[in-house]
Amino acid sequence: MEYMLLIHADPAGFASMPEAARNQALAAYGAYTDALNKAEVLRSSNRLRPADTATNVKVREGKTEVHNGPFIETREQLGGYYLIDVPDLDAALKWAARCPGASHGTVEVRPVWEM
Amino acid sequence: MGDVAAWQRAEAAARGSYGKLVAFLAARTHDVAGAEDALAEAFATALAQWPAEGVPHNPEAWLLTVARRRMMDAVRRRIHDGAASEYFLLVEELARDDEAPELPDRRLELLFACAHPGIDAAARAPLMLQTVLGFDAGAIASAFLVAPATMGQRLVRAKTKIRQAGIPFNVPGRADLPERLDAVLAAIYAAYAEGWVDAEGADARRRNLAEEAIWLGRLLAQLMPEEAEALGLLALMLHAHARRAARRDAAGEYVPLGWQDTALWDHALIDEAEELLKRASRLAAAGRYQLEAAVQSAHAVRRHGGAVPWPAIVQLYEALQAITNSPVAALNRAVALSHVDGAAAALAALPQDARLADYQPFWAARADLLARSGNREAALAAYERAIGLESDAAVRRFLQQRAAAA
């Protein structure tokens, strides 16, 4: 089954880290991504720019409306994701627990709707 | 007459096989609701056919075959929503072991799926009762004092989660086992505690719940005979259950444990509990349920005319407190201590914990200790708090009598 690991974290915490700690955190993500690749479970992954770079679009009555800002104002923001393919939820939870994001934020595990 | 026999055979098969059949049918597809629906149809078919055609040689296998065909039909009907792989799994199974001599018992896996941390904690015990014992949502709702619609929704959501989130049907590996087994034990104990609340036994459904929890406890102890805490939990429930007839007197008044007539205790249940506790202790893996059962066991010495070994009980509660960090364990330790070192020592040992502020037994214990130390005014104030927190009228009357005698 495919699962999306959504990393929710406070970007302020990351921004305020000393550079050495920040590099260490990035290295941890690199190592984690390598481990997922090695286990051949990684479908795709990306880090997202902070939510204040977000732009929202909706179409109402034929009109396109564009708005600045995050969709939801929260301290913890969606900062990135991993899409993995593993046998069951327990396997997905094990990978989620190893994700560096689980240590400084929360990793939400969502099953992918199979089409 | 044939009808009655067929009914009874079907009922017996339902009781003994229901959980096994659900577990087996749902294990691969994770579709608990689908398995239940298919089984319901299989049981209905059995009741229609068996009186006329006779009860099959192996009712369990017969029910499995019919249920599996029903499940296949159901999957075929919704094959467009991505269920093709499930369909092929079922076809494969159906073709392979239609005549399998014995149904593999996957109830343990089912229990672990029901108590998975991804399932709402409030849904775990109800889910076990429904999937393993076949209770309908209405019966479970009334046992848990929840509106039927609420309980129905909770169960549906839990089953949907198992299916869509891919919650596995397996016994967790060594690393995860202690924590996950705790969740299974806690759910069974929660069901027991729900049934225990109805002390007068006025509500048959709630009283039944305690017995069904014991049934689940027996099942777990039988499936995991090497898990000391599974044995400990069963021992604890049996000890408590053995005293159900002694908890009220003929007039329906509350009788505290120390005053109970031991002749009213169920000695067969106590013997069984003691045997389980012995087996558990040989496994050398102490835990909270074994400690709580050991406390019950210490109280049970009274049935042979022995004196309650309070110093041992103090130690058991100390161990329990160390494991669970529970303020209730600290409270019980203080109460036990009052029988060893007196009321003043016990008062000094009473835990100061905000979590006990609305806990009736804390105020009742404090009131009793204050009264025994000669502080009548403070005792009355504490009794008043205890009475205000108690929902059971018989216990309230008991506390009022104690306050009047203070």
Kindly report, residue by residue over B180-195, the tens digit of the pLDDT.
999 999 999 988 988 7
In a domain, B249, yes or no: no
The CA distances from residue B291 to B124, B168, B172, B352, B372, in Å, are: 24, 31, 25, 23, 28
For chain B, how big is the Rg over CA atoms in Å? 25
Would the CB atoms of A88 and B118 count as touching at under 8 Å?
no
Closest chain A residue by Cα to residue B165: A111
Is B251 part of any domain?
no
Nearest to A89 among B82, B167, B176 (CB): B167
Does the residue B332 lie in any domain? Answer: yes
**CB-closest option in B82, B166, B170 to A111:** B166
Residue B73 is assigned to a structural domain of this protein: yes
Q: Which residues of A touch B82 (CB under 8 A)?
A: 114-115
Contacts of A88 in chain B (CB under 8 A): 166-168
CA distance B169 to chain A (A): 9
What domain count does chain B have? 2
| Residue after which a domain boundary falls, among B57, B72, B103 | B103
Q: Which of A1, A89, A94 to mutate to test the interface with B (most CBs of B within 10 A)?
A: A89
Beta-bridge mates of residue A68: A55
Q: Does any domain span residue B13? A: yes
Q: How far is A115 from chain B (nearest CA, A)?
A: 6
Using CB atoms, pick whichever of A87, A111, A114 lies closest to residue B165: A111
Q: Which pLDDT belongs to residue B56?
A: 85
Q: Which helix (H) or strand (E) holds B27?
A: helix B2-29
Q: Which candidate, B86, B115, B119, places its Cα nearest to that of B190?
A: B115
Identify the pLDDT of residue B195.
76
Q: How many CA atoms lie within 13 A of B385 on its CB side?
A: 18
Inter-chain contact B164–A111, Cβ cutoff 8 Å?
yes
- Which pLDDT score, from 0 to 100, does residue B1 have? 46
* Residue B235 scores a pLDDT above 70: yes
B interface with A, Cβ–Cβ < 8 A, is 82, 116, 118, 164-168, 170, 172, 176
Nearest to residue B39, comparing CAs of B65, B57, B58?
Answer: B65
Give residue B309's Cα distance to chain centre: 28
Q: How confident is the model at residue B89 (pLDDT cuts 50, 70, 90)?
A: low
Q: Quote the pLDDT of residue B96.
A: 60
Question: Of the residues B51, B72, B103, which one is the last residue of a structural domain?
Answer: B103
Q: What angle do CA A93, A97, A101 make, to 5 degrees?
A: 120
State if pTM tops 0.90: no
Kindly state whether residue B228 falls inside one of the protein's structural domains: no
Q: Report the run of H or E that residue B154 belongs to, with start and end.
A: helix B148-164
- Cα–Cα dist B142/B275, whole Å: 34
Percentage of chain B modeled with pLDDT above 90: 59
pLDDT at B357 over 80: yes
The alpha-helical segments, DSSP class H, found in B197-282 are 204-223, 228-242, 267-282
Q: Which residues on A lie below 8 Å from B79 (Cβ)?
A: none
Q: Is residue B108 part of a domain?
A: no
Query: Any idea which of B205-209, B354-358, B400-404 has the lowest mean pLDDT?
Result: B205-209
Residues of the domain holding B64: 1-103
Scan residues 80-99 of A and list those with Cβ closer than 8 Å to B. 87-90, 92-93
CB A101 within 8 A of CB A78: no
- The one-character DSSP state at B303 is G
- Long-range pairs for B343-348: beta carbons < 8 A, 24 or more residues apart: B343/B369, B343/B370, B343/B372, B343/B373, B344/B373, B347/B373
> In chain B, which residues have their Cβ closer than 8 Å to the Cβ of A87?
166, 168
Average pLDDT in chain B: 88
| A41, pLDDT greater than 60 | yes
* Residue where a domain terminates, one of B103, B133, B149: B103
Do the beta carbons of residue B277 and residue B297 sit within 8 Å? yes
pLDDT for residue B61 = 86
- Can you say how many angstroms the Cα of residue B27 is from the centroid of all Cα atoms in its chain? 23
d(CA B134, CA B17): 10
Q: What is the largest CA-CA distance in chain B?
A: 79
| pLDDT above 80 for B2 | no
Cβ–Cβ below 8 Å for B166 and A115: no
Domain presence at residue B205:
no
Averaged over B295-315, what is the pLDDT?
Answer: 96
**What pLDDT sits at residue B51?**
79
Would you place residue B206 in the very low, low, confident or very high pLDDT band (cuts 50, 70, 90)? low
Question: How far is residue B359 CA from its own chain's centroid?
Answer: 22
CATH number of the domain at B334, please.
1.25.40.10
